[in-house]
Amino acid sequence: AVVVGAGPAGLTAAIFAAERGARVALLEMGDRIGGAMLINRGQLSGAGTALQAERGIVDTPQDHYDDAMRLSRGTANAEFLDLAVRLQGPFIDWLMDNGFEMEVDMPRTIHGHEAYAVERTYWGREDGISILKVLAPMTDRHVAAGRIDLLLNTEAQTLLTENGRVTGLETRDGRRLFGASVVLASGGYAANPELFARLHEGATLWSGSYEHSTGKGIEMAEAVGGAVVLAETFL
């Protein structure tokens, strides 16, 4: 397998693929892993967690779904939201089982957006770095065992196809990597004003994004026939 991007999505994809026996090439255009976790708060929301149960908070994925639909005024994508709320609570429990250093008195209510009906937001003592401190040792173990080839300072350039199927990619320096699966986990595009303007004509970009959020994965996918869907919901 080939995974593009060593942020939260790319690291988890590579880790779980390696745990299931895959050999993974993990590309990162920066000089260290972590992606947006290096700069963001790392806030998570999830229902039905062990931490909620300890505090007597009754919450379910359906409650989370209904609350998120309320906050979005019904504009959230139902299929994506349903998948997310079913996985988020177990993911938070998984982080805790693997040594995540949670901030005290979690979960809490936050007011960066209209508040949830119950306390279901969490973050670590070191914000996004707390998540990275769980994922990095797992990645390191797979690298040491030869299951993950970590390629830092390596930029994916072009997807390779055969008979209409993506079979691998070529890097900016001309290296070709092939895999049964190619995962584009290279993040967003808020560091690419030109791409933002094309996808959101007339909108203003207020970006505090990670510097490598260039949208390269989107551009690579578009070049071989892919398309951005639901772009109108990104703002």
What value does the mean pLDDT take over residues 62-72?
A: 96
Q: What is the pLDDT of residues 155-211, one digit of tens each?
A: 999 999 999 999 999 999 999 999 999 999 998 888 888 888 888 887 888 777 888
Q: How many Cα atoms occupy the beta-carbon half-sphere of 54 within 13 Å?
A: 8
What value does the mean pLDDT take over residues 59-66?
A: 98
Q: What is the pLDDT of residues 12-39, one digit of tens each?
A: 999 999 999 999 999 999 999 999 999 9
